[in-house]
Amino acid sequence: MFNIAIDGTTSSGKTTIAKALAKKLKFKVFDTGALYRGIACGFKRTGKRLNEKNLRDFISKLELKVEFVADEQHVIVNGVDETPNLRKEEISVLSSQVSPFKFVRNFVLDMQRDFAAKNECVMEGRDITSVVLPNADIKFFFDADPKVRAQRRYDQQKSKPFPHTYKKVLEDLIARDHSDENREHGRLVIADDAVFVDSTDKNVDEMLEFCLQVVKKEFDSRKNCIVTGCTGHIGNVLVRLLLENRYQVTALVLPNEDLKPIEGLKVKLVQGDVTDREFIFKLIKKDSLVFHLAGIIDIGNTPYEKVFQVNVEGTKNIVDACIKNKARRLLYTSTVNIIDPIDGRVLTEPKKFNEKIIQGAYAKTKYEATKYILQKCREGLLDAVVLYPSAVVGPYDFKISEVGQVILDFMNRKLYGYVRGAYNFVDVRDIAEGLRLASKRGKSGESYILSGQVTSFKTLLQVVNSVLGRKYIPPKFALWFVKMFAKLSNVYYKMRGKKPVFSEYSISAFTRNSNFSHKKATKQLGYHPRPAKEGIVDSVRWFVNNGYYKGGGSKI
């Protein structure tokens, strides 16, 4: 969902513009400050003295709801609609005393994020841009000269029965600014990527027009988006995410390719092949945003020449077309399997590669393609970001990915054993979001690991069992036995038309260090992956609900 986050100082115009902007864009406006004011209203009704103990007790029993009536936000506190009371002066004061408590902010946080995930909205309030929606599509920070803000606040309340003097209003406002800037939680800060709006000399119409121009520019930047490999696991989930966020997607598919993974999605379909250089040069245009995911993910049974032609030569065609036609940015999905898995270390983005450790056609060709992209970036010819995903789990696995095959075989009791070992699993939805974030925040020529959590093979099976409500675990095989079987597995799986679960390549992956760190992606992109267990659970549920599970039963 497309989200606009607004923060700023008191009486700087942020609430007024949030409402006007939402109305203009036909978004919902979510006043997060109203939640804290609602809590203040509810607490005031208790008649108790404000201290941490009393407030904790109140929060533990609180029922807080947000409802929209004719597009107007109403705050319901313990069954009472407190909307008419939210702007009272005593509630404003009490709200500023209640909101700094971390347990109060945590209580409200999930409501805010859940609303943003389900609605195109303008969300306004303290720490929205820095904490609540750090990955908002657009962020604004409003401010104005304190004297101007005090005058606005004075004008708003001077018609009331007992108005404050302008001097008193100014003193209170300066004190509120100091409190907001120095409190421990929910501190007033300007996010690095926020658009600063100085409203000192601007009226409402001028501020609104400025913000609308920023939004229009962002919408325009999403018009020419190309995704290769869009029917794959990561690809189809990425397309879904981009469409939810108002990107206009051109989906490159092979002739006669099964389009079920993107069936019903509002994309522009183009048939072609990344190995067709002339076609790729016509496809990629000036200012194109290119997500290149097309490739052969091979772990043991595909001829090297075919893998090389697609993964290396195809990528070179994409890169050269981006350079010649001045594409805006290329996002390339590489793999963590080209990173040296040094034992006992936390694995980070490599400054140089150790070619001797790279095994298998897939990893070797991904290395060659990655090296070519980074070299063109160093030469100043290309704007590109490289992403290294770890092993992917999660829903929408139409073509059954490598890890998906392991999960599905186990679900259907066709996995006859497992080995001691572990790997780093990450949810496909987090990879898609990481790619999107990299398109906006990634630094050209840089690479980012998109990893999740290291999870043992046995734990993976136990999580699957927990969803299916069973305890079945196949026997654990000795590593030497599995390695011996792996030499024959390629023929076995090729005859069955399935991806090999136990190949020499996959066994090597499960038995080496996979402690990949996503610290750089978290810091620079805002990448925050969910627990691996959640992705595994959703893989199982998706397989069950889409008829891949042969164990019967209803949808879950």
Residue 499 C-beta-side C-alpha neighbours within 13 Å: 18
Close Cβ partners of 215 (under 8 Å, ≥ 6 residues apart): 4, 21, 25, 138
Kindly state the greatest CA–CA separation across the chain: 88
- 109-125 pLDDT, tens digit per residue, is 988 999 998 899 999 98
Domain at 221-545: CATH architecture: 3-Layer(aba) Sandwich (3.40)
Interatomic CA distance for residues 64 and 75, integer angstroms? 7
- Separation between Cα atoms, residue 305 and residue 365, nearest integer Å: 10
User: In terms of DSSP bridges, do strands 3-8 and 121-124 run parallel, antiparallel, or are they unpaired?
Assistant: parallel
Q: Beta strand 268-271 with 249-253: parallel, antiparallel or unpaired?
A: parallel
Please report which helix (H) or strand (E) contains residue 265, including its range: none
Beta strands in 413-509 (DSSP E): 422-427, 447-450, 453-456
The DSSP 8-state label assigned to residue 271 in this structure reads E
CATH architecture of 28-119: 3-Layer(aba) Sandwich (3.40)
Best CA proximity match to 83, nearest among 20, 23, 41: 41
According to CATH, what is the number of the domain 1-19+129-220? 3.40.50.300
Domain boundaries, the chain: 1-19+129-220, 28-119, 221-545
Share of the chain above pLDDT 70, in %: 91
Which helix (H) or strand (E) is 491 found in, with range? helix 479-496
Identical fold between 28-119 and 221-545? yes
- Say if residue 198 is exposed, middle or buried (CB neighbours under 10 Å; 0-12, 13-18, 19+): middle
For 356-415, what is each residue's pLDDT tens digit?
Answer: 888 888 899 999 999 999 999 999 999 999 999 999 999 999 999 989 988 999 999 988
Radius of gyration, alpha carbons of the chain: 27
Mean pLDDT of the chain: 90
Chain-centroid distance of CA 367 in Å reads 26
* Cα distances (Å, whole numbers) of residue 250 to 262, 266, 272, 552: 12, 9, 12, 38
pTM, full prediction: 0.85
Mean pLDDT of 201-218: 94
The whole-number average pLDDT for the span 203-225 is 94
Structure confidence at residue 484 (pLDDT): 60
**Termini Cα distance of the chain:** 25
